[in-house]
Amino acid sequence: MRIHNLYCDANGESHWRDIEVEYAEQNEAGRLSARLPASGIIFRQTQAEHDRPWHPAPRRQYIINLDAGVQLTASDGEARVIGAGEVILVEDTSGKGHLSKSVNNQMRHSIFVPIE
């Protein structure tokens, strides 16, 4: 399983990379990763017309899109469309941050899982 990762380098620029989830065990129900730390869960509804200018992430967190996509642009210029069911680990908590843009003018429901 691949996770998108948006991170910030020492110069304050944000970039994309992919993280591959490593599985720790397998049983009759499927493959499982090791338990990862989390400090809560936040449910979010974002209006269809909600586009955000440059901003850093408020905290390190996983974001799981449930039913619509979002386009995120790193400060290095690379943009990714994160679709429904995809997971992002946002870690660009300093520097310029990223741009957020709605996709297909759809309301989006997502889950934030803070890890700090």
pLDDT above 90 for 9: yes
Write down the pLDDT at residue 113: 98
Task: Give 35-80 pLDDT, tens digit per residue.
Answer: 999 999 999 999 988 899 999 999 999 999 999 999 999 999 999 9
Name the percent of the chain lying above pLDDT 90: 94
pTM of the prediction?
0.93
- What the block records as the tokens of 52 is 């955000």
Which domains can be identified in the chain, with CATH numbers? 2-114 (2.60.120.10)
Rounded Cα distance between 92 and 52, Å, is 15
Write down the pLDDT at residue 50: 86
pLDDT above 90 for 116: no
